[in-house]
Structure 1
Amino acid sequence: MANDNNKPVAWWRVPMVWMVVGGPLSVVVASVATAVIAWKHIDPVITTTPQGEIRPGDNMAPKLSPKDALAPAQQGRNHAATPQR
């Protein structure tokens, strides 16, 4: 009697291979997708005028003194509290 259980199986038919290859492959695909999204949606650079003022239309809160340790928090709070124009 011939025993068919001892035949070699192709590597791509073994489920464990797909588990071992699938994890790292999915991470590579996700990182490439993230890089493409980051490259296509780059944040614009906000420029200032020679006098140090932010250009009109940038919709930014006024700049506070850089010596004030709470300047970023207060600027964010004030910007969030102002109504939309």
Structure 2
Amino acid sequence: MNAILIPPPAVPWWRVGVMWLFVGGLGTVVVASLALVGTAVRGADPVMPQVAARVAPSDPAAAPALIGRNHAASPLRPRPAP
């Protein structure tokens, strides 16, 4: 009835599987973040000059969202005959 409980022998830290799961997860996050930073730095778009930003675009697809929304909601008008 009175069994003596013997604790299991201590294992070195490098033999614990959960520790490697933790270290591997952190390592994966660090490598992924460095890859993301590298992609962002290499693929950065050039800065648009202030003059070009103020000029209205001639392409209707580049119109501001409010104008595009209002245009999409308006009924079609017939084109005048040439």
TM-score, normalised with respect to structure 1:
0.48
TM-score, normalised with respect to structure 2:
0.49
Larger relative CO (CA 8 A, sep 6+): 1 or 2? 1
Higher percent of residues as helix: 2
